[in-house]
Structure 1
């Protein structure tokens, strides 16, 4: 049996085909053509190397997109001004009934927060930027009564005041020290 006969037969094994290729140098071109067909090409299949290459390029594009998104979105955080140092301030209103009140420190814009008809006793702890003056204002309603406001900075009582009678008012405040200047290095 010649090497040509072995290749032409449909029941040849891979080992027989490899042996035939070694025996007959003229069939090496045929084996390369067969390998090309197995890897794709004329029959419409993609090459495995191309599939891996396409997947790798897609992965790199995805990674580049994530990095660019992080750089573009996170760039502002590096340039943002550091937060101002703050002090813990506790506002407290005692008495009976309800009051309208406003206090400074709960919003970063420095505007006062207001609470209408707050049930007593009422207490709130907020962070106030150093250099600001935390303040709470209380106003009694038409029914009058008596209410006391108090301010504590970092747990230490600073001031208190009492409102009494119809539409009685009281204000409590406390100065906070200015922030220390930054040391330049």
Structure 2
């Protein structure tokens, strides 16, 4: 079921991904968001990136430390979730919007969880 959903999102991205790039006037305004996870070991990470559907990108058993900078559409909430594996440990997520630190949180212990989120301004409704 999850595989089918992931395949659907990938196909949607492939089929619609070039539309905004081909027509600059139709591009959705975005902000640069940097997600960073510090610590050791591995963790499952999900984060919001440029997606019209608002779906999250999931990275299973990512080796820490991990960092990703993406564009997130204005009006969407940038968020990164981390879940530690059964080995536990400690990991810290941080979120920066346009280079400014917004939030950090720490996960610890077996299957520890943490989330960092922020707020982007709504898109300018006067744009074309």
TM-score normalised over the length of structure 2: 0.77
**Deviations 1:141-169 (CA, angstroms, capped at 9, x unpaired):** 11100000010000100000000001000
The CA distance in 2 between the partners of 1:181 and 1:156, in whole Å, is 25
Partner of 1:109: 53
Tell me the equivalent position of 2:80: 136
Q: Which runs of 5+ in 2 are unaligned?
A: 1-21
More relative contact order, 1 or 2 (CA 8 Å, 6+ apart): 2
Residue 180 of structure 1 and its aligned partner are, at CA, apart by 1.6
Q: Which residue of 2 aligns with 1:124?
A: 68
Could you tell me which residue of structure 2 aligns to residue 154 of structure 1?
A: 98
1:163 maps to 107
The alpha-carbon deviation at position 106 of structure 1 amounts to 4.3
Q: Which moved more, 1:80-89 or 1:138-147?
A: 80-89
Counting matched residue pairs gives 107
Gaps of at least 5 residues in structure 1 are 1-76
More strand by share: 2
TM-score by length of 1: 0.54
Structure 2 residue 29 is the aligned partner of structure 1 residue 85: yes
Aligned 8 A contact 2:82 2:107 in 1: yes
Q: CA deviation at 1:87?
A: 0.2
Work out the CA distance in 2 between the residues paired with 1:137 and 1:183.
32
More helix by share: 1
RMSD: 1.9
Deviations 1:121-179 (A, max 9, x none): 10000000000000000000111000000100001000000000010000000010101
